[in-house]
Structure 1
Amino acid sequence: MDRSAEFRRWKAQCLSKADLSRKGSVDEDVVELVQLLNGREQFFTTSSCAGRIILLDRGINGSEVQKQNCCWLLVTHKPCVKDDVIVVLKKANGDAILKFEPLVLHVQCRQLQDAQILAVRSTHGLEVPLTHKGKLMVTEEYINFLIKIANQKMEENKKRIERFYNCLQHALEKETISVTSYPKEKIKEKNNSSYTHKKKRNPEKACGKYITEENNKELENDDHDDPGISVTVFPEDY
């Protein structure tokens, strides 16, 4: 089985499986983005999160919060309020951490050049400890301040998702045009131009005269011309 067929089989198998995330479905703010990728033969998504504010109860191992086997006190994909955080913090027995996590999108790509289109990384996050061994270490005023920051990041994250969707859609449309229409037209134009070029430089061929070995080498060199197609995927200020 060739690689393209194997990739299609793997894609069909993965997309047919049940959603094993905590929510059990794709987040509303990222549905269109996921559909755009899965609608293309060269991509399929394996997991996604549109962005969330979470409150975890677990000790810190160095600077990394281990989410596996910890207690999830609060999870929301929408802006939250201070009162909700204060209520669940009372249930914390260890080190509770407030986090904002931006868009996460895991995508399988057919080829390296397909993966390069999706090469976008963000450091738009937030992680702050609030309790230690169940004891609240900050004031409610500070918690309110943190929640405002997290909510602002959530709104900015939503704008970035929309911008990424638009840029990706534009890039994929441009790629489709380049692959299907542009090369064929350029190849035809190049062949016509190359034929005319050779005809002018070697009038002996048109008259049925002998062509020297040097002229033959010159013609072979002409065949190595390249149209030089290049595509800009995202704007520089993305």
Structure 2
Amino acid sequence: MTAEAFDARKKEILAFAVDKSPKGSIDEPVRPLLDVVNKCKDLVTTSSCSGRVAIYVDADPSTLEKVKKGGIWLSVSHDPLPIEDSTRLWSSLFPTHPHPTSIEFCHAAPSLSDPIIYFKFEPFILHVLTRSPEAAAELLTVALQAGYANSGVQRSIVQIRGTLKLDVPIGTYRRGQVELCVGREYVEFLCRLANDKFIENFAKMGRFQEMVMKELVDGPVVTKEFVETREHRMERKKREGLLKASKMKEEREKLKREQRVEDEIDSTEVLGDNAVII
């Protein structure tokens, strides 16, 4: 992407303020961080999620071969759950079953022939379009230092994502009816666990925002010719050394195989036509 094309794309994205996430709008908890990232002249955010807890129904097993993406979201919240109010909690988790008495609880293992219900917590995620590979590398470095170990770069997009996650099967969904194979207490335990992850998730977002401000805004990302540092050179030499050692090992093994064949041929000639090589 040329510099002019990036500038035009950034202007377009910021003018419409449309988020490419499924929700289609920006979550309020992540807005301050996006504002900081977008201050960097070589970066622009394209999609994001501040973190969410959800009740998700997997695709019907009988239709898995017919659809690429199945399943439905029974509920999604980008805010901590109201664990202090049991009635509000259950109605927020299962809006179509606002009263716990309308939810069936069973102690038997769920049937794999029915769609599985999952209790999910998904962490903060951010996609950022970058002007250049150097800008992408700078942002990725900051993200990794902030603890977002699942981050990476694909083409000119940096994906920033953490490891905080819950993905727990809790029941089945049959003909619109929620059937849980776990008790109320266990579901409420998962809710408390998710709220703890929300706290950790928001704290990490705050640290990342501070690091972006310090490393990339106060010291802006500058697209420049790559200069090999001492650390880069050491890493390159290490890779080259390992590659050279691997090639030398392959060459030695090849020579051994060739020598073995020659020895077998020599043995055959010495022993005559009736020789048997073992």
Say yes or no: TM over 0.5: yes
Structure 2 counterpart of 1:167, one-letter code: M
Query: What TM-score results when the alignment is normalised by the length of structure 2?
Result: 0.55
Q: Which residue of 2 aligns with 1:52?
A: 52
Tell me the secondary structure at the aligned position of residue 143 of structure 1: helix
Structure 2 residue 93 is matched with structure 1 residue 83: no
- Residue matched to 1:132: 172
Change (3 A) 1:76 1:167: same
Once residues 103 and 128 of structure 2 are traced to their aligned partners in structure 1, the CA distance between those partners, rounded to angstroms, is 36
Residue 150 (structure 1) aligns with? 194
Matches within 5 A, 1:90-109: 94-109=115-130
Distance 2:6 2:135 in 1: 13
Shift of 1:13: 2.6
Tell me which amino acid in the other structure corresponds to 1:175: G
Matching residue of 1:28: 28
Q: Report how many residues are paired.
A: 177
Structure 2 unaligned spans of 5+: 62-66, 84-88, 105-113, 149-161, 232-278
Counterpart-to-counterpart distance in 2, 1:74 and 1:67: 21
* 1:23 Cα offset (Å): 4.2
Q: Deviations over 1:17-52 (max 9, x none)?
A: 444545443111111111112222100111011111
Quote how far apart the aligned CAs of 1:117 are. Answer: 2.7
How do 1:1-238 residues align onto structure 2 when only pairs under 5 Å count?
Answer: 3-17=2-16, 18-19=18-19, 21=21, 23-59=23-59, 68-80=69-81, 81=83, 82-84=89-91, 85=93, 88=96, 94-119=115-140, 120=143, 121=148, 122-134=162-174, 135-173=179-217, 175-176=219-220
CA displacement at 1:132 relative to structure 2: 2.6
Aligned residue for 2:182, secondary structure, equals coil
CA RMSD across the alignment: 3.2
Equivalent residues of 1:74, 1:88 under 8 A apart? no
TM-score (norm 1): 0.64
Closer, same or farther: CA 21–143 of 1 in aligned 2, 3 Å: same
Task: Identify which of structures 1 and 2 has the higher relative contact order when contacts are C-alpha pairs closer than 8 Å and 6+ apart.
Answer: 2
Letter in 2 for 1:4: A
Q: Alignment partner of 1:45: what SS?
A: strand
Q: Which consecutive residues of structure 1, in runs of 5 or more, have no partner in the other structure?
A: 180-225, 231-238
> Does the C-alpha gap of structure 1 residues 24 and 91 become closer, same or farther in structure 2, counting only changes over 3 Å?
farther
Deviation at 1:94, TM superposition (A): 2.7
SS at match of 2:219: helix
Partner deviation per Cα, 1:165-189 (whole Å, 9 max, x = no partner)? 001111114534x97xxxxxxxxxx
Q: Deviations over 1:139-196 (max 9, x none)?
A: 11111111110110011101111111001111114534x97xxxxxxxxxxxxxxxxx
